[in-house]
Structure 1
Amino acid sequence: MQLFYNPNITDLEKSFVFDKEESKHIIKVLRKKEGDILHVTNGLGFLFNTEIALASDSKCTVNILSFKKQEPSKYHLHLAVAPTKMNERYEWFLEKATEIGIHEITPIICDHSERKVIKTERFQKIIESAMKQSLHYYLPKLNEPIILKDFLKKEVNGAKFIAHCEETHKNSLKSQIIQNQDTTILIGPEGDFSNKEIELALNNNYIPISLGNTRLRTETAAIVACHSVVFINE
């Protein structure tokens, strides 16, 4: 099944029109024609079965034949991850985490961050593409970048963890995960969190955790954390 994405479609509509860019892709690239069936999600759990009514490359119009809604997860996984020096590595994390089943992502700016200016427009497109490719009906939420100390001021539900590389006592993440519990995990930059940041997180009731016996890159650590939580909740 090929999945399309349109955030504006609702279960109250009988038809809708794709924007010019998506219309051109559907008609010119995929060579879809009137009468063809398209499967569309709005990123809010709905899957719409639609039929092309007007095969225009500027405003492809479809009629909604039926729809269903997927039940949301019983838990919420939020990863707050420092951007990597090379954008490509962070984009890889966004793509794979979306495929695995993450719910929310926040880029955090830390003391040791080498990249402090982030443009989220491309990140958003990567997440949307990964959602469609992996046939998810819920689009992960991508928040705007935020300084870590400001993120720590936010109220967070459920379990709160910080993964750092300091040689202190830490339990493995897998031993701390509880099924159907909301989980927030902090993943630092290449240079790790500063001692001040770690102390601040601990003072805000974040629990220090280990992701294994080897030192992982930022994006690898984020994927290990994401998979661990999702796997235990499957």
Structure 2
Amino acid sequence: MDKTIFFAPDILINPQLPHEEALHCVKVLRKKEGDEILITDGKGRFFEASIIQAHPKHCVVNIDKTINEISAWPFNLHIAFAPTKNLDRIEWFAEKATEIGINRFTPLLCRHSERKEIKLPRIEKILVSAMKQSQKASLPVLDEMIPFSKFVKQPFDGKKYIAHCQDGNKNLLKDIYAKGQDALILIGPEGDFSPQEVEEALLNGFEAVSLGTSRLRTETAALVGCHTIHVLNQ
């Protein structure tokens, strides 16, 4: 499969492309009635469809075939991170992690966080674009920002890790993660997690890990964690 993918989350209820997708399909790509296109709902499904009304505001289609995506990774990967002051860096991470493969993003509000709020619509658009560009049919979940203490108390059915820069005994993530396990990784802000946050995470079942000997930026550390889990599952 190597063709333009259109995103229509409600395609099974409303068989037409959303406005922006319709505009791109009809005006930019010059698709017309009878042409075949490929659509995803972001829920793990592709749809082969035929255009029956080529209008830039409401491109109506007929679904010819449904194809369930074969998951490229047999595990659930969730990364919770403290957004950086420079939002471009987090947008870069979100894009690249989606291309590699991730199930969920959660922005964290930590003690040393420089960014106290985050606007999700722009990041959501980046996730959609990265999903389509990487020929995937599963759109990662993007959560609202949540306080660190509240988040670490939430249940997670898998291995839970906190990557921090403080001294102490920490195993390398690559040495303690086992292939096929669901994983949740916490990545801190530029000023790192506070000692109290690290202790709180450990008390709630997280394991302290290292991502290597280099001191990494927040967005780099998050991407390294994502990539490491994928490499270990090869």
Task: Give TM-score scaled by structure 2 length.
Answer: 0.95
Of 5, 8, 18, the residue aligned with 2:7 is 5
Q: Name the structure 1 match of 2:43.
A: 44
Alpha-carbon distance in structure 2 between the residues aligned to 1:9 and 1:231: 34
* Segments of 4+ moved more than 2 angstroms: 71-74
Gaps of 5+ in 2: none
Q: Name the structure 2 match of 1:134.
A: 134
Give the conservation status (yes or no) of the 8 Å contact 2:11–2:17: no
Name the amino acid aligned to 1:196. Q
Name the amino acid aligned to 1:3. I
Give the conservation status (yes or no) of the 8 Å contact 2:75–2:180: yes
Name the amino acid aligned to 1:53. I
The answer to whether structure 1 residue 164 and structure 2 residue 164 are counterparts is yes
Give the conservation status (yes or no) of the 8 Å contact 2:161–2:206: yes
Report the 3-state secondary structure (helix = DSSP H, G, I; strand = E; otherwise coil) of the residue aligned with 1:17. coil
Name the amino acid aligned to 1:65. D
Give the conservation status (yes or no) of the 8 Å contact 2:8–2:16: no
The answer to whether structure 1 residue 76 and structure 2 residue 76 are counterparts is yes
Name the amino acid aligned to 2:7. Y
**Shift, 1:74, TM fit:** 2.7
**Residues 160-205 of structure 1: CA distance to partner in whole angstroms, max 9, x if unpaired?**
0000000111100011111111100000000000011011111111
Alpha-carbon distance in structure 2 between the residues aligned to 1:21 and 1:198: 43
The answer to whether structure 1 residue 63 and structure 2 residue 65 are counterparts is no
Task: Give TM-score scaled by structure 1 length.
Answer: 0.95
Aligned pairs, how many?
A: 231
Report the 3-state secondary structure (helix = DSSP H, G, I; strand = E; otherwise coil) of the residue aligned with 1:9. coil
Alpha-carbon distance in structure 2 between the residues aligned to 1:31 and 1:68: 25
Alpha-carbon distance in structure 2 between the residues aligned to 1:45 and 1:135: 11
Q: Name the structure 1 match of 2:29.
A: 30
**Shift, 1:223, TM fit:** 0.4
Report the 3-state secondary structure (helix = DSSP H, G, I; strand = E; otherwise coil) of the residue aligned with 2:84. coil
Alpha-carbon distance in structure 2 between the residues aligned to 1:129 and 1:30: 16
Report the 3-state secondary structure (helix = DSSP H, G, I; strand = E; otherwise coil) of the residue aligned with 1:66. strand
RMSD over aligned Cα, in angstroms?
Answer: 1.2
Alpha-carbon distance in structure 2 between the residues aligned to 1:208 and 1:19: 44
Report the 3-state secondary structure (helix = DSSP H, G, I; strand = E; otherwise coil) of the residue aligned with 1:52. strand
Q: Name the structure 1 match of 2:224.
A: 224
Q: Name the structure 2 match of 1:85.
A: 85
Q: Percent identity?
A: 48
Q: Aligned ranges for residues 64-213 of structure 1 at < 5 Å?
A: 64-72=63-71, 73-213=73-213
Name the amino acid aligned to 1:198. V
Alpha-carbon distance in structure 1 between the residues aligned to 2:153 and 2:206: 12
**Shift, 1:159, TM fit:** 0.4
Gaps of 5+ in 1: none
**Residues 103-141 of structure 1: CA distance to partner in whole angstroms, max 9, x if unpaired?**
111000100000011111111111111000001111111
Report the 3-state secondary structure (helix = DSSP H, G, I; strand = E; otherwise coil) of the residue aligned with 1:111. coil
Report the 3-state secondary structure (helix = DSSP H, G, I; strand = E; otherwise coil) of the residue aligned with 1:49. strand
**Shift, 1:90, TM fit:** 0.3
Name the amino acid aligned to 1:168. G
Alpha-carbon distance in structure 2 between the residues aligned to 1:21 and 1:210: 42
Give the conservation status (yes or no) of the 8 Å contact 2:37–2:49: yes
